[in-house]
Chains A and B, each alone.
With several copies, the nearest count.
Chain A
């Protein structure tokens, strides 16, 4: 697979997450970090060294972690609550529902190493469910940054928004894909390439692969639009409808289950507004053993896989 972004330098967005958080914390005393014995894996060592009192590590206790964060928000803080995504979402689900979303507290939930980033550690440590789970909580904004610049924007956006927010913090290294002048707004997709035959809608780790797929399709004379959906909630429904109307076919790609994540959100908008053919790529089941890169290949979450789905949806397979 010798395409542009696959050869480009790749970045670990956790560094950007941590650095941006420190920058914000220097300017705003209300910002605190809350974690579950995950100072290291949440990349919060520097934060702790600079703000020892403002790093609250509750130990291995995710329900308590989210409850404590909600309490800190009550006391006027803006808690960035950080844990491995499967434990943050799965273990503290009802706290996220009741204490954060329904109580409407400005708590920022940072799901570390989402998707299958923890590769060999297996399904208990994968977070392929988080987008489906979190989308089923009313009032929660959901951001899936695709590269370092979006990671930083996401942290800033969430700190300023006043809204309960879930952010995936990628561990899997990704190339930079976001143009300097790209918007970072709730409900606003980033259009990365123009295209008229098909639209590839991707998030997170899948965005660079969608770009590579578009390049490959272009070589076959297929004009593919690429949208980075970034905000899975609120979704950019206008961009989806425009894609359906203007390109007539859609492929979605995400590192997660298809039951209720990006693909499901897109399928809903399409089916309700402008029915066209959609193919959804994602993770179909609990993964076998393997590295994150291996598993993405295993499940066809690659540029080839995306391009293949595009050809299939166009009947050119």
Chain B
């Protein structure tokens, strides 16, 4: 059986945005976390606005998890990793994997902010034949390393990428972002054991610890706490942070100090930045009305 390729208009680099990204992100990467924080915050606010309008135009999406993961994404792609929007397959690129693939709108908005493709294309999210599928697909979207959507896939793949870097003696790093509910998938604990066993200090696993999953709070579904003890017992160097504090995130993304892989437990708020969505389970994939988007965008200028 053969795969049908997308008949859609492919996504192409936004030259100007990519150029801006190269310069600004180089500075941000070089800056101290404290210095970089304000600028990262500004970018994150812009990305949050794009997430909302992207979901609005699609009439679908996972807004709660998009908004909880935004700061983690922006700090990774703008402030930490070396991305190449004009040459997305650059062999020495750092790798970013969004394992919680249902938050595609957040990833796409961030990739667009870096210039991987024009921001204007975000309005095609989930449109017929659009490359911007509801879950990220690497043959369609530059900057996507592996297809995600089913939970529990990104981390093993990221472990393989990091192991590959190690085998090749390459310096590039890998960051993978997981949902907290996603940590209920056993495949992640398999990957954790592998990463620890191979001492993949070039790998950082970030948990978007918003304490909500699809239907309820994580602790009311299948409890994850003590999550730090779990990661530690699985051989990771654990860093627990405020996942909306850009300085803390950038600090937490610093390379391993122990030779072990790093787990960042980022305490976040689902729906962060839009007061009426914050920490409310129904905003997992509820779609805001136009009026709600207006109110949200208003909040996101302040």
Contact = CB atoms under 8 A, between A and B. Distances in A.
B190 A102 contact: no
A102 B128 contact: no
B122 to A, nearest CB: 14
Contact of B146 (A41, A53, A74, A76): A74
Interface-central residue, A54, A60, A257, A286, by most chain B CB under 10 Å? A60
Interface in A82-137: 86-87, 90-91, 94-95, 98-99, 101-105, 118, 120-125, 135, 137
Contacts of A56: 163
Contacts of A121: 133-135, 149
Interface size class of B (residues with CB under 8 A): 35 or more
B137 interface: yes
A98 B194 contact: no
A67 B186 CA distance: 13
A37 B167 CA distance: 20
B152 A284 contact: no
B69 to A, nearest CB: 16
B160 A69 contact: yes
B177 to A, nearest CB: 15
**Main secondary structure on B side of the interface with A:** loop
A209 to B, nearest CB: 20
B157 interface: yes
A68 interface: yes
Given A58-B194, A71-B163, A37 B153 contact: no
B158 to A, nearest CB: 6
A57 B215 contact: yes
A124 B187 contact: no
A139 interface: yes
Given A60-B151, A289-B127, A72 B146 contact: no
Given A60-B184, A233-B1, A288-B4, A74 B157 contact: yes
B1 A99 contact: no
Contacts of A59: 181, 184, 190, 193-194, 197, 213, 218, 221-222
B60 A103 contact: no
A125 B149 contact: yes
Given A61-B194, A139-B3, A288-B4, A74 B164 contact: yes
A289 B190 contact: no
A273 B162 CA distance: 49
A151 B26 CA distance: 50
A130 B95 CA distance: 32
Contacts, number: 226
Contact of A76 (B138, B151, B152, B168): B168
A60 B161 contact: no
B171 interface: no
A57 B8 CA distance: 39
B146 A71 contact: yes
Nearest to A45: B215
Contacts of B115: none
B4 to A, nearest CB: 4
A138 interface: yes
A95 B187 CA distance: 10
Contacts of A74: 95, 145-146, 157, 160-161, 164
Contacts of B184: 37, 58-61
Given A70-B160, A289-B8, A39 B126 contact: no
B34 interface: no
B159 interface: yes
Contact of B164 (A60, A63, A75, A94): A75
Contacts of A118: 134
A306 interface: no
B156 A63 contact: yes
A64 B139 CA distance: 22
A163 B205 CA distance: 29
Interface centre among B58, B160, B170 (most CB of A within 10 A): B160
B191 A54 contact: no
13 contacts: A38-B215, A54-B167, A57-B222, A59-B181, A59-B193, A74-B95, A98-B148, A98-B150, A99-B156, A104-B138, A121-B134, A122-B133, A122-B134
Interface of A: 32, 37-41, 53-54, 56-61, 63-64, 66-77, 79, 86-87, 90-91, 94-95, 98-99, 101-105, 118, 120-125, 135, 137-140, 233-234, 257, 259, 284-291, 294
The 4 A-B residue pairs with the shortest CB-CB distance, nearest first, are: A71-B160, A75-B164, A67-B156, A59-B222
